[in-house]
Structures are given as C-alpha cells and as structure tokens.
C-alpha cells in the first residue's frame, strides 16, 4: 500500500509540474510576457547568426562572456535546431521556470528534508518577475537555492563528487544571471558560518567556490562599462512594504488583478494547510545526538537569515543601477522564495505526503489556470498582429511604434504592457532589422556592431515607451517598413515623407511601406 501511495504521490507531483509550467505556454503562440519577444529575437540571433538570409552577422556581435547571460539563450538556440523559434522560446522559458522547484528540492535535500517540498517553487513560477520577462533571474533563483543545498550536503559529508557538482552549479549560475552569483557566494559563506557548530567544516567549500570566484573575478575586472555602474546612495525605504503584493503577484490590474490576488491567497492558504499537516503528523523521532540537533537548528536559522538579507536589499537598493531596471523589486520574491526552506520536514507517512503534494498541486495549478486564461485572451486579441505581419518579407527593415497599449477584455488587464515589444517576434522569425533593440544597451550577450552602416540609428533610453519622439524624416530613413499600433489613423506621422504609403490595416495595427523612387 505504501509503495502505491508513493507512486501516486510522484505521479501527482509530475502532473503538477507539467500543468503549472507547460500548460499556460501551450494556449498561445505568443505568451503575454513583456520581454519575451526580445528574448526570442536574441535566441534567433544566436541560432541563425551564420545564416545570411537573416542578416544578423551584419548587425550584431556576440559577447557571451562580457555579458554572461547565456544559459537561457543557449537552451533556446539548441531547441530551435528542432522546432520553430516561437516554440523554442517557450521551451527555454519553461526551462528557466523549472529551475525553481528543482533548485528548492535540492535545497531541502541538503537540509535532510523531503525534496517534495520543492514543489512549492511552482508557486513562484508566475510572479511579477515572470510577467515582466526576467526569466534568467527567475531561473537563477532556483540555481541559487541549489547552490545552498549542495553546500549543506558537502559540509555534512564531503566528497569530490559533491565539490564538482557545486562548482558546476556555481558556474551555471554565473552564466545564467551574473549578479545572482555574488549572492550565492555570500549565502555559502553564511552557510559555512551557521552550520559550523554542527559540521565543524569550512574547507570543503573552498575549492568549488574558489574556482567559480576566480572566473567571476576575471569577468568583474574586465566587464564592459555598461555593467560597471555603482549602486549609488543607499537608503532605507519602509514605504516599499506597502507595495509588497504588487512585486509578488501584481502582474494584473482591475478585475484580473483582484482574481490574481485571490488565487495568490489560496496558494498561501494551501501552504498553511500543508504546514499544519506536516506539524500535526510530524515524526516523533528525536535527533540522535548533539550534532544532529545542531544541524537541524542550523538549517532552520539559515533560510531565516537569508530571507532577512534579501528583505533588507529590497528596502535599500535603488530601482535602477546604470542600464539595469527594476533592481530592488526583485529581492522581495527572492526573500519569500528562500524563506520556504524554513519549513519543517514532511512526515514520512505516505498518506500525509500525498495530501501535501495534492494541496500544492491544486493551489499552484489554479494560478497556472488563471495565467493560461489571460494568455489565451491575449492570443485572441493579437490575432490582427499575426495577420498583418504576414505581409512583411523575410528580413525586413522594420520600424515600429506602439502608441496604443490597450487590449480588449481581460487581455488588457496586464500591468506591464504586453505589446510594447511584440514586433520583435518579426525579427525572431523572419530576421532583419528593428528600430529599437535590447542590443543597443549592451547589457545582453548580443551587441550592435560599432560604427557599422548596417546597424539601425541609435535611439535614446526609453525610446520604446515614447513613440511621440519619432520623426519620419529624422528617424525613419533607414527603414523600409513601418508598423504602428494606434486606434486612430496614423497618417499624420508619415505625412512629411510622401514615399511612405499605407499597405494594410488590421484592427489597431497599421502597416506602411516606403515606396522606391521610379
């Protein structure tokens, strides 16, 4: 009977992972994730860099070590060898989100608790960070947790195999999100300190952490100027606590926002119910000795201290550091995520474990269903975009202006515009040029080539959010195609240049083309 319950528990866990991580991505061609179109474009650049039909090598340089955010793009590029780019982009997104339960499970294992608790990581799959598109950061949170779990296991029972494993995950974290790497090193140092009364060891961590630190140090002293901005003045801002829910589950507003918060509260309720089950049916076996008691105390204190550190960072860090945006809000999900590790171990009773896993599956599945419903509405609302872009040739020189960000129904309730970067899917699938691109910031592995005539003219910061800055005679001469999203007729925008003619209108999308002179 116990074997059947264990098998059923694993089956429910697997279904939960598939439902939460895969199902929402299956209902829409283009998920309503703000930055995903440009992540897809950068993946396509990596995949098709050598293909002259895409014209990527003319525009871009690849800098995978200068800006080591390559794990997600490499995963997507590999997938794109077998599937279309829009599918590959979704697969790489799922891969990043999957690191949350995986990393949390490794952390619980290192704490000598059930890795099944790692399923709680599914509850963080669709926070505000994912709705923005900070997918590398989300994946890095999972790797960060895994580093701590591997560090605990290594301190408890050292081995060369574990050292190699920790070193490999640290390097993977470095190439996933470089600014999570220092957090991982600090967390490992704190782990060694807190666990020293139980393990009496520090040295096993030195080799893997030292090797990874050497790579980071070389990068740090050779990094590009765009990644060299200082933090600036730091100040404690307690008013941010009043916006805490916005930075956790605040991806939607209006009626959808109220429903999102309701689903988030249900997830919290399920967590409390799971905790009650774990406490009521907890195993009564006492720690076998002083070392074990110290170990249990240490693994309880550690996540509390780490969560407090992330909360402090949330309260003191600035919103922008150089070209980096949305800095301090990222620390609140990090704090809540790592705080989960303070939970007690799951009881060994199979029926209780099945109940806990079922609770987590139902709670996180409801958030996935909520997101899927909104993405399905977004897919319907952007059918006109997919239709009008069929008129574009391969590798177009495309300028785009998103003037109207509104969408009908629940698709229009997203807090962060889901259409501001939507035309980047054209470059991802067809190649060519765009009037705005993340490559201009030089904070991603793909950079525009310096002083190249094949590169679109530079634009100022926040250009994509300010289409009123566009002047066709000043900014449009490089481009042959123009895509505008506006409810009203955008003809006055192009009136100064008679060579630009309307090709088609679909809904709120207007496509123009520059006519060649006779």
Query: Cβ neighbours of residue 462 under 8 Å, at least 6 residues apart?
Result: none
Among the candidates 377, 399, 414, a domain finishes at 377
Instruction: Assess contact for 306 and 190: CB atoms under 8 A.
Output: yes
Backbone angles phi, psi at 252, to 5 degrees: -130, 160
Q: b vs e for 114-139, b when ≥16 Cβ sit within 10 Å of the residue's Cβ?
A: bbbbbbbbbbbbbbbbbbbbbbbbbb
12 in the same domain as 157: yes
pLDDT over 70 (residue 287): no
Instruction: Report the 10 Å Cβ neighbour count for 141.
Output: 28
Find how far residue 303's CA is from the centre of its chain.
Answer: 22
106 contacts 43 by C-beta, under 8 angstroms:
no
Looking at per-residue pLDDT, the higher value among 290 and 75 belongs to 75
pLDDT band, residue 133 (cuts 50/70/90): very high
Asked if residue 347 and residue 430 are part of one domain, the reply reads no
Which candidate, 399, 422, 402, 401, places its Cα nearest to that of 480?
399
**Range 505-518 average pLDDT:** 87
Rounded mean pLDDT, 241-261: 93
Higher pLDDT among residues 518 and 372, named by residue: 372
Indicate if 362 and 498 belong to the same structural domain.
Answer: no
Per the structure, the complete domain to which residue 470 belongs is given by 383-514
Number of domains in the chain: 2
User: CATH number for the domain including 442?
Assistant: 3.40.50
Residues 168, 190, single domain; the answer is yes
Structure-derived torsion over alpha carbons of residues 471, 474, 476, 478, reported in degrees to the nearest 10: -170
Residue 518: pLDDT band with limits 50, 70, 90: very low
Task: State the pLDDT at residue 412.
Answer: 87
> What mean pLDDT value characterizes the chain?
95
- Find the range with the poorest average confidence among 280-294, 301-315, 334-348: 280-294
Please name the residues in contact with 1: beta carbons below 8 A apart, sequence gap of 6 or more.
350
Q: Which of 403, 394, 400, 397 is nearest to 487 (CA)?
A: 403
Q: Give yes or no: residues 372 and 410 share one domain.
A: no
- Residues 59 and 201 reside in one and the same domain: yes
Residue 69 pairs in a beta bridge with: none
| Domain end residue (candidates: 351, 377, 403) | 377
- Whether residue 310 is predicted with pLDDT greater than 90 in this model: the reply is yes
- Which pLDDT score, from 0 to 100, does residue 283 have? 82
Residues 276 and 345 in one domain: yes
Burial class (CB in 10 A: 0-12, 13-18, 19+), 365: middle
Contact between residue 412 and residue 419 where contact means Cβ atoms under 8 Å apart: no
- Predicted local distance difference test score (pLDDT) of residue 278: 86
Q: Which residues, in sequence order, are bridge partners of residue 324?
A: 321
Q: How much of the chain is in helix, strand and coil states, percent to nearest 5? A: 65, 5, 30
Mean pLDDT confidence for 126-148: 97
pLDDT over 70 at 1, yes or no: no
Query: What does the pLDDT average to over 451-479?
Result: 94
Q: What is the DSSP string of 369-404?
A: HHHHHHHHHHHHHTHHHHHHGGGSPSS-EEEEEE--
In this prediction the pTM is 0.96
Gap between the Cα atoms of 83 and 97, Å rounded: 20
Q: Are 11 and 357 in contact (CB under 8 A)?
A: no
Whether 35 has a pLDDT exceeding 70, the answer reads yes
Residues 484, 501, single domain; the answer is: yes
> What confidence score (pLDDT) does residue 322 get?
78
Of 111, 37, 42, 496, residue with least CA distance to 342: 111
Residues 357 and 388 in one domain: no
Q: What is the pLDDT of residue 517?
A: 53
> What integer is the mean pLDDT of 305-310?
98
Residue-level pLDDT at 323: 77
| Bridge-based pairing state of the strands 433-434 and 397-402 | parallel
Give the end of a domain, one of 315, 344, 377.
Answer: 377
Is 53 found in the same domain as 177? yes
Considering the domain architecture, whether residues 352 and 424 belong to the same structural domain is answered as no
The DSSP H or E segment spanning 193 is: helix 181-199
337: tokens are 């995520």
Question: 180-189, 287-296, 364-373: which range is least confident on average?
Answer: 287-296
Q: Do 255 and 366 reside in the same domain of the chain?
A: yes
């Amino acid at each position: 009977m116990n074997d059947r319950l264990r098998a059923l528990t694993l089956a429910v866990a697997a279904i939960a992972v598939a439902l939460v991580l895969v199902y929402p991505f299956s209902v829409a061609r283009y998920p309503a994730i703000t930055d995903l179109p440009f992540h897809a474009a950068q993946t396509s650049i990596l995949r098709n860099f050598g293909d002259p039909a895409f014209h990527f090598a003319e525009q871009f340089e690849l800098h995978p070590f200068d800006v080591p955010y390559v794990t997600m793009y490499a995963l997507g590029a590999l997938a794109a060898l077998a599937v279309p780019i829009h599918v590959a982009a979704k697969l790489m997104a799922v891969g990043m989100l999957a690191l949350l339960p995986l990393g949390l499970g490794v952390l619980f294992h290192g704490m000598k608790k059930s890795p099944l608790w790692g399923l709680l990581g599914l509850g963080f799959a669709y926070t505000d960070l994912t709705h923005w598109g900070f997918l590398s950061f989300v994946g890095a949170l999972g790797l960060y947790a895994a580093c701590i779990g591997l560090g605990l296991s290594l301190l408890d029972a050292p081995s060369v195999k574990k050292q190699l494993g920790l070193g490999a995950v640290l390097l993977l974290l470095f190439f996933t999100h470089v600014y999570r790497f220092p957090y991982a090193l600090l967390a490992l140092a704190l782990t060694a300190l807190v666990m020293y009364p139980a393990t009496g060891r520090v040295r096993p961590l030195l080799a893997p952490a030292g090797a990874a630190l050497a790579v980071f140090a070389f990068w740090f002293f050779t990094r590009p100027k765009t990644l060299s901005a200082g933090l600036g003045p730091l100040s404690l801002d307690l008013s941010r606590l009043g916006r805490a829910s916005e930075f956790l589950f605040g991806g939607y507003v209006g009626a959808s926002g109220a429903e999102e918060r309701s689903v988030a509260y249900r997830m919290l309720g399920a967590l409390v119910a799971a905790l009650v089950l774990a406490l009521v049916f907890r195993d009564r076996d006492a720690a076998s000795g002083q070392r074990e008691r110290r170990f249990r105390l240490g693994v309880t204190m550690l996540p509390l201290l780490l969560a407090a550190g992330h909360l402090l960072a949330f309260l003191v860090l600035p919103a922008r550091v150089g070209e980096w945006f949305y800095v301090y809000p990222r620390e609140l999900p990090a704090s809540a995520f790592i705080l989960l590790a303070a939970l007690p171990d799951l009881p060994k009773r199979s029926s209780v474990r099945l109940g806990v896993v079922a609770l987590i599956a139902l709670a996180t599945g409801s958030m996935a269903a909520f997101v899927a419903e909104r993405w399905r509405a977004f897919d319907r609302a952007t059918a006109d975009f997919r239709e009008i872009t069929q008129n574009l040739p391969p590798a177009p020189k495309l300028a785009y202006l998103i003037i109207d960000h509104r969408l009908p129904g629940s698709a229009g309730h997203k807090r962060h515009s889901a259409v501001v970067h939507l035309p980047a899917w054209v470059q991802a699938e067809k190649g060519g040029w765009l009037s705005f691109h993340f490559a201009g910031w030089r904070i991603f592995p793909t950079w525009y080539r310096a002083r190249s005539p094949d590169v679109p003219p530079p634009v100022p910061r926040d250009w994509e959010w300010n289409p009123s800055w566009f002047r066709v005679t000043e900014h449009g001469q490089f481009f042959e195609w123009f895509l505008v999203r506006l409810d009203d007729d955008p003809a006055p925008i192009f009136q100064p240049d008679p060579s630009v003619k309307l090709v088609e209108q679909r809904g709120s999308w207007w496509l123009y083309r520059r006519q060649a002179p006779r």
